[in-house]
């Protein structure tokens, strides 16, 4: 039966009532409903959970009917320090995810060329998938590459997913995929925040949000740019408004006037894709007006470090550039050795604390941003000059030692072909102003999925192993070669006695990881079992789908993801899926990916792909941990049991793996050792997958009795902290960063005490609520909040302080005495990097136009686009194309999440936001003869979608380089599969291009060009 949106809403409302009261043995009439009574202990039990949507990580209370074990209600947890009982619309409607008749109760199968799904048993589905995995793996496994290097790689299967599963499931999933030999291992983080990690790691050493949600209240100036926090991270705004009540200024720069803008002291319209120009102008303003926090810059940054003579910059290109041919994915590359620091005879970078040397970083920085004067910046960005100056004045005032400014950003910055450099520019601003490591400061990457931080930490990405260890490549033939290559730069840095150069501990973390994955193998054996990437090749999301479009895979896992709507150039992804022999789609509901064969423009009778749909539990139906944007690891408990025959992701993956293992035990097959030896039996309890057991393994244990510094740790006891991990196989730890999260004292993520010392309470650290990596440190780089004597720059809101021979306050970034070790301990040189020579597209950020732009040239240089960009030369792009004159962007709304897979199936949310729309200015609408509320067609060079016109004053034409420029924006939450009658429209990603940042491959989905016409 086809269900349209109206009928769906009615049916689901009726189901909800019946479910809530079914357990009582009677169905009361509507007048007699007493929902509050149902929540009492006589009829229901309460469990705590964490919202499965955005990365704020709000606490929930879930009421479950004692008899039926179905959810009755979910609401905000009043004790939770972040949300204090409140939720946004998504958080408030989570019980509707669990109690939802759209959830398939058992697996489904779509046979080749079939026009319909067939319900099948779990046993049959898992058995058949296992056969296909083995057959494909055996047929496509490569022991050695063309150069004769050992690679032990399965080329025929790819995987995407997931940022929505628990930490324990992420870790298990990556272990399984790597034991099978997959290298195309990608997930949501690649397409949402992958640019954050290398940008922040290059600047500070770690790739995560530096502070946490409650800390925003400590800020004197909150900049929201590249995000719409009030709408997309709604509860985060509780802490923004709390800061404003204490006198903080809120500044918002955005192409649209949003709900965030409506609360801001200053809002400025900008052209999408020009943020580096604007922030480059801010750097110039700070330097020209001598507004840097000088002691901070000298003590904690590389501002005084000298750069070698080979570094240079000319008309948009840094030295060392080579252009690539069209047959290569990247447009060009740099020889980064030309950007090296000037080193002394010990190999350490030279410095000039007087800051007078013309090649010291601060002077090169001045020179680089000389061109970013206010007139040029205003002209390129279309931003009002006076508003820009006011922004510069307000924000740079946080350069005073006792003031702090913070930045909240999200996809508006990350999803660009210069996304890494967007974030780098702001990181540099924060270092110049002394805003890193301090309360109310930081660079706060707002994660949009509940566990995208955890899924990144646990490495569901081709280039990472858990804990940000690098995946091996073919040139690193054995364990020793790998360890030498990865530790040498840090051992070099450690020659400076002031530098902790923490990554020199890599051997301990890698050996412990391999022991957790393969407990009975030596590190050398286990390393040999890991798949090796080809030297110089990358396997990013865009390249994965490009390879799929060239029929390079037979099998594909879409685990908790919906790439038919969520990826850039979604039409290309949908077409590519028809080249697969088989696909496994694990999700709560059917979606546009699993059902791609019956989507618009597809003829199922011509599509060979077999599809297995496996229904998984929703978050409140299982136990495990997730980690929010602020790195708080929080434990969720099972409320209702999984509905129908659905299973937790952990159960699904381990049962599937058991089926694969038993095939390899029965029959011969390619390279079976990693499959036979993976630690999967250690992940299980009496009922299969056991989140506690995996969480304990991720933390790590001693594999034999070990004596360290005179203290003996017994075999089998939990390792208390990563400082105790060893490189000799005596410790196993699935992720060194999480070592300290599940100790002999218990599950730290489950803690719910709000006890704090007065210093901690002063800035709201909540060290006894949940757990935070690393080692429960709440503010990263916190020793940078103090001068070299351990005295806080801002004593009234100290994060740490040297007091009586020890640090008090937060857990310090190392317990060394003040002035003995630099604060940025993950950097080889120990300093915050204003000059960052490790990125693919330059040590200083530079403005380039987006890959699709209405302009043939810009005012900063002759180089139009990022010269190292990831692109597929055979795919056309519209540049200065009169057919596509509008600058277009995509965004999210409060009521929906990501591709809308979960929220479009939630009646309350679909009712509130039922279909795709396109925002446009009144001026543009007049030009096109479009009325508010009319259906229009939005077209790019790749595809088109219909949308309802939302004619608004929130967008306005800008004058850019002398030309009137119009912008439009669309939400990207919609898809043809739900509502079933197509009334929601389709994905805005049918319009966006397959082009990516050269550092990470993140697609440029936040700016492209389009046209809009009346239907
Ligand atoms: S979606 Fe985000 S802000 Fe809303 S309740 Fe969930 S975690 Fe909180």
55 touches ligand 1 (CB under 6 Å):
no
Asked if residue 201 has its Cβ within 6 Å of ligand 1, the reply is no
Could you tell me if the CB of 92 is within 6 A of ligand 1? no
CB 675 within 8 A of CB 661: yes
How high is the pLDDT of residue 9? Answer: 46
Q: Which atom of ligand 1 is nearest to the CA of 235?
A: 3
| Closest atom, ligand 1, to C-alpha of 628 | 7
52 lines ligand 1 (CB under 6 A): no
Give residues with Cβ within 8 angstroms of 571, minimum separation 6: 942, 943, 990
Q: pTM for the whole thing?
A: 0.96
- Angle, CA 983 vertex, CA 978 and CA 987 arms, to 5°: 65
Per the CB < 8 A criterion, the answer to whether 643 and 150 are in contact is no
Site to probe by mutation for ligand 1, drawn from 78, 235, 909 as the one with most ligand atoms within 8 Å of Cβ, is: 235
Among 60, 91, 628, 898, residue to substitute to test ligand 1 (most atoms within 8 Å of Cβ):
91
Pocket-testing residue among 53, 59, 74, 97, ligand 1, by greatest number of atoms within 8 A of Cβ: 53
Query: What's the 927 CA to ligand 1 centre distance in angstroms?
Result: 39
Q: Whats the size of the chain, residue-wise?
A: 1015
Kindly give the number of the ligand 1 atom that is closest to the alpha carbon of 91: 5
| Residue 594 pLDDT | 98
Q: Closest ligand 1 atom to the C-alpha of 82?
A: 8
Residue 13 pLDDT: 44
Helix (H) or strand (E) holding 237: helix 236-245
How high is the pLDDT of residue 30?
A: 37
Kindly give the interhelix angle for 167-180 and 649-666, rounded to the nearest 10 degrees. 20
Ligand 1 site, residue 91, Cβ cutoff 6 A: yes
For residues 21 and 38, the answer to whether their CB atoms sit within 8 Å is: yes
- In tens, the pLDDT along 808-855 reads 999 999 999 999 999 999 999 999 999 999 999 999 999 999 999 999
Q: Quick count: other Cβ atoms within 10 Å of Cβ 716?
A: 10
Three-class SS of residue 604? helix
Closest-CA residue, ligand 1 atom 4, reads: 88
Residue 89 near ligand 1, beta carbon < 6 Å? no
pLDDT tens digits along 948-993: 999 999 999 999 999 999 999 999 999 999 999 999 999 999 999 9
Q: State residue 2's pLDDT score.
A: 43
Those residues of the chain that have pLDDT short of 70 are: 1-35
What is the Å distance from ligand 1's center to 896 Cα?
Answer: 11
Test site for ligand 1: of 48, 49, 54, 626, most ligand atoms within 8 A of the Cβ = 54
pLDDT of residue 34: 63
Which letter does DSSP use for residue 616 in this model?
Answer: B
pLDDT digits 0-9 by tens, 103-134:
999 999 999 999 999 999 999 999 999 999 99
Instruction: Transcribe 694-736 into DSSP letters.
Output: HHHHHH-EESS-EEETTEEE-TTPBP--GGG--SSSSEE-S-G
C-alpha–C-alpha distance, residues 627 and 8, integer Å: 33
Q: Are strands 701-702 and 706-708 parallel, antiparallel or unpaired?
A: unpaired
Distance CA 477, CA 638 (A): 44
Q: How far is the CA of 55 from the centre of ligand 1 (A)?
A: 7
Q: Is the CB of 60 under 6 A from ligand 1?
A: no
Closest CA to 455 of 163, 221, 655: 163
Is the distance from CB of 851 to CB of 865 less than 8 angstroms?
Answer: yes
Separation of 51 CA from ligand 1 center, angstroms?
6
Residue 270 near residue 254, CB atoms below 8 Å: yes
User: What CA–CA distance (Å, rounded) separates 968 from 957?
Assistant: 10
């Amino acid at each position: 039966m086809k269900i349209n949106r109206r009928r769906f809403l009615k049916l689901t409302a009726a189901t909800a009532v019946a479910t809530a009261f079914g357990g009582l043995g009677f169905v009361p009439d509507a007048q007699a409903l007493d929902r509050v009574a149902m929540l009492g202990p006589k009829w229901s039990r309460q469990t705590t959970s964490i919202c499965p949507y955005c990365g704020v990580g709000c606490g929930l209370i879930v009421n479950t009917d004692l008899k039926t074990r179905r959810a009755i209600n979910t609401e905000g947890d009043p004790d939770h320090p972040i949300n204090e009982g409140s939720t946004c619309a998504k958080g408030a409607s989570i019980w509707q995810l669990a109690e939802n008749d759209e959830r398939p109760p058992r697996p489904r199968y779509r046979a080749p060329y079939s026009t319909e799904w067939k319900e099948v048993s779990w046993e049959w589905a898992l058995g058949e998938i296992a056969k296909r995995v083995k057959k494909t793996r055996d047929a496509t496994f490569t022991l050695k590459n063309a150069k004769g290097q050992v690679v032990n790689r399965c080329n025929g299967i790819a995987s995407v997913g997931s940022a929505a599963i628990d930490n324990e499931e992420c870790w298990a999933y990556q272990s399984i995929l790597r034991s099978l030999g997959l290298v195309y291992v990608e997930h949501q983080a690649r397409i949402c925040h992958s640019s954050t990690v290398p940008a922040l790691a290059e600047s500070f050493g770690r790739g995560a949000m530096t502070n946490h949600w409650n800390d925003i209240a400590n800020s004197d100036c909150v900049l929201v740019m590249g995000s719409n926090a009030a709408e997309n991270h709604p509860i985060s705004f509780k802490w923004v408004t709390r800061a404003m009540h204490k006198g903080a200024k809120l500044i918002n720069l955005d192409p649209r006037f949003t709900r965030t803008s409506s609360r801001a002291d200053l809002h400025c319209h900008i052209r999408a894709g020009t943020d580096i120009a604007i922030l480059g102008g801010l750097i110039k303003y700070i330097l020209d007006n001598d507004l840097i926090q000088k002691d901070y810059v000298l003590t904690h940054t590389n501002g005084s470090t000298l750069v070698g003579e080979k570094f240079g910059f000319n008309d948009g290109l840094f030295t060392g550039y080579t252009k690539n041919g069209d047959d290569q994915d990247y447009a060009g590359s740099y020889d980064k050795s030309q950007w090296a620091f000037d080193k002394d005879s010990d190999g350490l970078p030279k410095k000039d604390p007087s800051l007078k040397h013309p090649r010291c970083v601060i002077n090169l920085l001045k020179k680089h941003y000389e061109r970013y004067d206010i007139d040029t910046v205003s002209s390129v960005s279309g931003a009002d000059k006076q508003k820009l100056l006011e922004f510069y004045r307000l924000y740079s005032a946080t350069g005073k030692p006792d003031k702090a400014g913070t930045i909240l950003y999200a996809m508006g910055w990350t999803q660009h072909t210069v996304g890494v450099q967007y974030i780098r520019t702001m990181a540099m601003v924060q270092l110049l102003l002394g805003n890193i490591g301090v309360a109310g400061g930081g660079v706060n990457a707002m994660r949009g999925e509940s566990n995208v931080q955890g899924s990144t930490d646990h490495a569901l990405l081709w280039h990472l192993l858990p804990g940000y260890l690098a995946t091996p490549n073919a040139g690193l033939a054995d364990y020793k070669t790998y360890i030498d290559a990865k530790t040498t730069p840090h051992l070099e840095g450690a020659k400076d006695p002031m530098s902790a150069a923490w990554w020199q501990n890599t051997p301990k973390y890698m050996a412990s990881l391999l022991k957790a994955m393969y407990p009975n193998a030596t590190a050398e054996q286990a390393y040999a079992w890991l798949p090796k990437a080809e030297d110089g090749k990358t396997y990013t999301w865009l390249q994965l789908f490009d390879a799929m479009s060239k029929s390079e895979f037979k099998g594909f896992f879409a685990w908790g993801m919906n790439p038919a709507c969520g990826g850039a150039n979604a039409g290309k992804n949908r077409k590519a899926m028809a080249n697969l022999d088989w696909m496994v789609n694990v999700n709560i509901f059917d979606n546009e990916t699993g059902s791609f064969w019956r989507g618009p423009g597809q003829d199922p009778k011509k599509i060979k792909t077999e599809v297995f749909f496996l229904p998984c539990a929703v978050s409140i139906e299982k136990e495990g941990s997730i980690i929010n944007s602020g790195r708080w690891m929080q434990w969720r408990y099972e409320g209702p049991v999984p509905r129908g025959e659905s299973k937790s992701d952990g159960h699904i993956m381990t049962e599937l793996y058991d089926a694969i293992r038993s095939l390899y035990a029965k029959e011969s097959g390619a390279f079976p050792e990693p499959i036979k030896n993976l630690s999967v039996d250690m992940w299980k309890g009496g009922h299969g997958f056991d989140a506690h057991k995996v969480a304990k393994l991720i933390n790590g244990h001693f594999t034999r009795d070990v004596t360290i510094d005179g203290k003996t740790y017994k075999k089998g006891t939990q390792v208390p902290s990563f400082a105790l991990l060893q490189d000799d196989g005596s410790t196993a730890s699935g992720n060194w960063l999480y070592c300290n999260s599940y100790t002999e004292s218990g599950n730290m993520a489950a803690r719910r005490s709000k006890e704090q010392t007065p210093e901690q309470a002063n800035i709201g650290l909540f060290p006894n609520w949940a757990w935070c990596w690393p080692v429960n440190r709440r503010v990263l780089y916190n020793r940078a909040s103090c001068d070299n004597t351990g005295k806080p720059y801002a004593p009234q809101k100290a994060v740490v302080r040297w007091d009586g021979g020890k640090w008090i306050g937060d857990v310090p970034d190392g317990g060394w005495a003040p002035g003995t070790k630099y604060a940025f301990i993950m950097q080889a040189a120990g300093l915050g990097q204003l000059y960052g020579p490790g990125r693919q597209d330059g040590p200083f950020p530079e403005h380039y136009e987006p890959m699709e732009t209405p302009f043939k040239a810009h005012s900063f240089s002759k180089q139009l686009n990022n010269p190292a960009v990831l692109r597929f030369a055979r795919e056309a792009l519209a540049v200065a194309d009169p057919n596509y004159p509008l600058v277009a962007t995509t965004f999210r709304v409060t009521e929906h999440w990501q591709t809308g897979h979960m929220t479009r199936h939630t009646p309350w949310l679909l009712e509130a936001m039922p279909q795709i729309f396109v925002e446009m200015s009144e001026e543009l609408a007049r030009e096109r003869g479009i009325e508010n509320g009319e259906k229009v067609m939005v077209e790019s060079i790749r595809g088109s979608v219909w949308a309802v016109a939302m004619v608004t004053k929130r967008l306005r034409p800008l004058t850019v380089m002398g030309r009137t420029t119009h912008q439009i924006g669309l939400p990207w939450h919609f898809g043809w599969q739900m509502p079933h009658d197509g009334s929601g429209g389709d994905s805005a990603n049918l319009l966006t291009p397959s082009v990516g940042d050269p550092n990470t491959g993140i697609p440029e989905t936040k700016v492209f060009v389009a046209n809009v016409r009346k239907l």
